[in-house]
Amino acid sequence: MARGNQESMSSATHPDYRPGLEGVIGGITKIAEINSASATLTYRGINVHELAEKSTYEETAYLLINGRLPTAHEFEHYKRTLAHERPIPESVSNILKLIPRNIHPMDALKVAYSALAAYDPDYAAAPTDHAANVRKAERIIAKAATIVAAHWRICEGKEPISPDPELDTAANFLYMLSGERADEETVKVMDASLILYAEHTFNASTFANRVTVATLSDLYSGIVTGIGTLKGPLHGGANEEAMRMLLEIGTPENAEPWLRSALAGKKKVMGFGHREYKNGDSRAAYLTKMAKKVAEKKGVPKWVEIGDIMTKIMVEEKNIHPNVDFPAAYAYYMLGIPIDLYTPIFVIARVAGWSAHAIEQLDNNRLIRPTCIYDGRSGVPYVPMADR
C-alpha cells in the first residue's frame, strides 16, 4: 500500500495506528538508551563516546551481554574464550566455498550462521537457558569476523586465514582479510567503529531478532533474522550505498550540484536521516572526527570535504543530519576496506547487541504479535478455475 494511503487511513479511522510503528513502544530494555533531544547513546548507562575512547569492542560486548564492565580477571578469561571460539568449523568454511561466489557477503553470513547453529555445543539447550544463551552469544560474537574474512578470501580465490589468538576482533578481522597485521591507528578506527555499531536499542534488525527469539526460537535464528533485516539500504546497507554515492559524486566541486539535483528529484541521500535522532546522530559526530584524522594522516581530504558540503546543505535545506553510516563509509574507504564488507562489518559489531537483546527477551519472554488493520475486500466468492 502507498504511504499516503497508510497515513490517511491512520488519521481518518485509526488514530492509534502509526505507519512504520513510529513512536510506538516495542518493549522495555536495560541494554541501551537513545536520548533524541541531546543526541546521546548509552550502553548499560555508559556514554558510547566514552566507550569508543577508552574501551575495546571485546569489553563493550561483555558489558552489553553481562550488564556491567568486567573485572580484570573476568576480562582476561573472556578474551581467552573469544580467542578459543574464533575459528569456524572446516565444514562451515567448506559451505562458504560451495555457495555461488557472486552473492553479497551479507547472504553468506546468513548461510554461515544457519550452519553454525548445528555445531554449537549448546544446540539442544532450552531456548530460555540463560547460561547456555550467554555461551552461545560468546561463540556468535567470536566467529563473525572470521566468517566475513573467510568468505571474502574464498571469493577472491584465496584460502581463508585462521584467526590469530593474540589479536582482538578489529585487529584479527584486518589480519584475516590480508594476512598482514594492520597498524595501530587503523585498528583503533576499526575498533571504535565496532563499538559505535555494537548496539542501538529497538532498531529494525534488533526488533526483528527479538520477534524471532520471542517465539522461543534460538539465538542463531535471531542472528540470521537480524542479518537479513540489516542488509537493506534503509538500515545497515546504507553504509555501502553511501560510499557508492560518494564515488558517483567524485569531487568536492560536484557535491553541491549532485545533492541539489538529488533533493529536487526526491532521492533519498544515503547515510542521512534517522528515525530516532532529529538533532543529529552522536555516533556520526564521533566517527566523523575519526575519519577526519584518517584523511589528514593519509593526505586524502576529498571525502571529508564532500561530506562536509553535503552535511551543510542537508542540515540547512532539510534539517536532516548524517547518521553513523555516512562517516563509516568514507572512513572504511580510506582504510582500504572493500565496499561490500561495510555492512558485514556492521554485523561483526551488532552481533553483540543482537545477542544481548535475544537473551534479555528470552529471560522474560512473551510472544511479540501486533495486530493490524484489514483493508482488503470481503465476502469475495470463490470462482472455480474454469470460470476465471
Binding site residues, ligand CMC, CB under 6 A: 20, 203, 234-236, 238, 268-275, 318, 320, 323-325
**With respect to ligand CMC, which residue has the nearer C-beta, 95 or 189?**
189
Structural contact between residues 213 and 362, judged by C-beta atoms closer than 8 angstroms: yes
In sequence order, which residues have a C-beta less than 8 Å from that of residue 41 and are 6 or more positions away?
A: 32, 33, 34, 35, 47, 48, 200, 282, 283
**With respect to ligand CMC, which residue has the nearer C-beta, 20 or 179?**
20
**With respect to ligand CMC, which residue has the nearer C-beta, 224 or 245?**
245
Active-site positions?
274, 325
In angstroms, the CA 94 to CA 220 distance is: 19
Residue with cell 543526541: 39
- Please, what is the minimum distance in Å from the beta carbon of residue 8 to ligand CMC? 14
Structural contact between residues 48 and 379, judged by C-beta atoms closer than 8 angstroms: no
Structural contact between residues 28 and 365, judged by C-beta atoms closer than 8 angstroms: no
- Please, what is the minimum distance in Å from the beta carbon of residue 216 to ligand CMC? 27
Type of residue found at 18: R
**With respect to ligand CMC, which residue has the nearer C-beta, 148 or 269?**
269
- Please, what is the minimum distance in Å from the beta carbon of residue 281 to ligand CMC? 7
**With respect to ligand CMC, which residue has the nearer C-beta, 273 or 344?**
273
- Please, what is the minimum distance in Å from the beta carbon of residue 277 to ligand CMC? 8
**Phi, psi (deg, nearest 5) at residue 121:** -60, -20
Query: What DSSP element (H or E) covers 25?
Result: none
In angstroms, the CA 79 to CA 92 distance is: 23
Would the CA dihedral through 182, 186, 188, 191 be positive or negative?
Answer: negative
- Please, what is the minimum distance in Å from the beta carbon of residue 340 to ligand CMC? 16
In sequence order, which residues have a C-beta less than 8 Å from that of residue 380 and are 6 or more positions away?
A: none
Q: Give which of 20, 32, 27 is closest to 234, Cα–Cα.
A: 20
Question: CA triplet 74, 76, 77: central angle to 5 degrees?
Answer: 65
